[in-house]
Structure 1
């Protein structure tokens, strides 16, 4: 092999190490890029020249070549965030996003709700997930769309009234004394309107007896008079405890929960049955309504209905479930974020903006929910930082610099040798 060949070996070293320096520069410049995965250079030798008729002991290489770069998909550091839709993957997997033409894959979980109500990254790519309906997770991958999401109303089906009816109050035979007491009960009808029902108690001349009547405000509807329990009597013993209930016909029905039937008129809503919780599991008074010798009062009303609510906040669970928080105090699961993984993630094609695309070298994506199989969990209000190790990059940069300088020295030294060769003819 001639001296000229060593010149080309030096040139190959310059070329390969300059490309390696590009990889190092890319890594260092993306130290603060969320979800960035660093790369490392891969070199290979150039085919050798064989001297002396194929002797394996006389093979001389012709330099190096930059074969390519390999992506490092190791876990990056985790940082807390104040945005509920910032997400990090703890373990394997990629978020799936769609630009309207196809799916891409990323570890960068900086998501926001765009002007169309779709959860998307800064570049406008929509996050993909599975819609949750009635607590059931769907199987169709779709964009996480939160536009128009609201909490449907839940009509009241039960209420508990905490009240005391004054045992010392004058009965209704004395027209000069207050003999009635009214407790308002807030209920929710089928269209989500809050309606204040009134339970009016009247003290009777029989010891420990208070009659009750349930009514709705004028214009809101009526209490079905055909229901035996919509009016009746409560009977208290000498200790102020509820011991019996009489229906409309004054027949004893014992202590138990009372069923009331309400017909709503404005706005139009379905008639509904509401249970007045008065008894415990043993069939005795639950102690919420008492007949003590103290001023009549209402101390609590608890009911299980709620009106419609608008979306006021979001949270993300470890299994990727996006939960909506609503103005009516309710929480509802809306979507589950989808994750993708590949047999050979180092074969993915980088497309910029922290996005990867499927390629023939990566294999096809496997898409599933977080925390299933080999997939990692999703952390809400969290970001995965770049996995670039600055100390390692600087060490690699020094090695690359030295290799570049040594390759340049090969060229200058070979030039000196060639000059000496030319001078032999003088």
Structure 2
């Protein structure tokens, strides 16, 4: 009887975590480049009350008798599905049509361990002419350097990430190429806030190394679309459905505790 109460408690905790994740998804429904998350459950190790027996010539076999002890969180996955495109016609708004990530860092020439990844391409040109994100982090090129656009020059960004900078006469005087990083296991990335991801130990394999050199043969990296942004991939219909499921699951597990308490009360009343 007490086991059922603890199972109910574990269920309530699990659905509370699920509701926390759903709430965060809905709160970021309009966040540029945001990727939604989901909670997966797993059962807790069951208590063995009787083991299985093998069949013999004289008698048949019997199955094991096990009593479950509740539920726990199996994983909280980040779903790296593409969000819808929003056209802005702003030349510094960029969207990756593929699975790659932009690389940004606090300083130009940053080491791979200090590089953050992002799908949010709402970039700007700061007072020093550097291409930066909304928090002032440098957008890196394939040489892990900041991209600088001289004052008074016009520029364009091609589908391969090439940044063509033109002088007053229209001549191309410099070219950079935006770094597009392909991650072997995107779900291994850790959210660092500010639409940024930190490379976790399970994202790139046993040796964490961010290769900023573009791989033209790898179609997974995708192409860059200037004048567009990738919106959040949160599906409100699915999130509200999951919210109802979490609410009912929480109520059902709370009913387990209430029913177990009523049965315990009946046992106590036997003394009367």
TM, length-normalised to structure 1: 0.57
The answer on 1:420 being equivalent to 2:263 is no
Aligned-residue CA RMSD (Å)? 1.7
Structure 2 vs 1, CA of residues 78 and 332 (structure 1 numbering), >3 Å: closer, same or farther?
A: farther
Aligned counterparts, 1:220-259, within 5 A? none
User: Could you list the runs of 4 or more consecutive aligned residues of structure 1 that deviate by over 3 angstroms after TM superposition?
Assistant: 53-56, 329-333, 364-368
Report which structure shows greater RCO (CA 8 Å, sep ≥6).
2
Structure showing greater Rg? 1
**Aligned pair partner of 1:346 in 173, 177, 187:** 187
Distance in 2 (CA, whole Å) between partners of 1:147 and 1:50 is 72
Helix, strand or coil at the partner of 1:401? helix
1:161: which partner in 2?
Answer: none
2:163 corresponds to = 322
Among 382, 388, 411, which residue is 2:234 paired with? Answer: 388
Task: After TM superposition, give the deviation of residue 66 of structure 1 in Å.
Answer: 1.6
Q: Residue 369 of structure 1 aligns with which residue? A: 214
Any idea what SS the aligned residue of 1:329 has?
A: coil
The structure carrying a bigger helix percent of its residues is: 2
The corresponding residue for 2:145 is 142
Counterparts of 2:217 and 2:119, CA distance in 1: 18
Shift of 1:334: 2.1
1:406 maps onto 2:247 in alignment: no
* 2:145 partner SS: strand
Pair 1:80–1:362, CA change in 2 (3 A): same
**Structure 2: how far apart are the matches of 1:333 and 1:391?**
47
Match of 1:59 in 2: 66
Distance 1:385 1:333, change over 3 A: farther
Where do 5+ consecutive residues of structure 2 fail to align? 54-62
The 1:394/1:370 distance shift into structure 2, 3 A limit, reads: farther
Partner residue, 1:178: none
Matching residue of 1:33: 31
Q: Secondary structure at the match of 1:386?
A: coil
Aligned to 2:60: none
8 Å contact kept, 1:370–1:377: no
**Pair 1:366–1:59, CA change in 2 (3 A):** farther
Distance 2:168 2:215 in 1: 28
Distance 1:53 1:68 in 2: 30
Structure 1 residue 98: Cα displacement: 0.7
Contact 2:51 2:65 in 1 (8 A): no
Distance 1:398 1:47 in 2: 28
Tell me the residue number matched to 2:95. Answer: 88
Structure with the bigger percentage of strand:
1
Answer whether contact 2:25 2:36 (CA < 8 A) is retained.
yes
For structure 1, list consecutive stretches of 5 or more residues without a partner in the other structure. Answer: 131-139, 149-309
TM-score (norm 2): 0.88
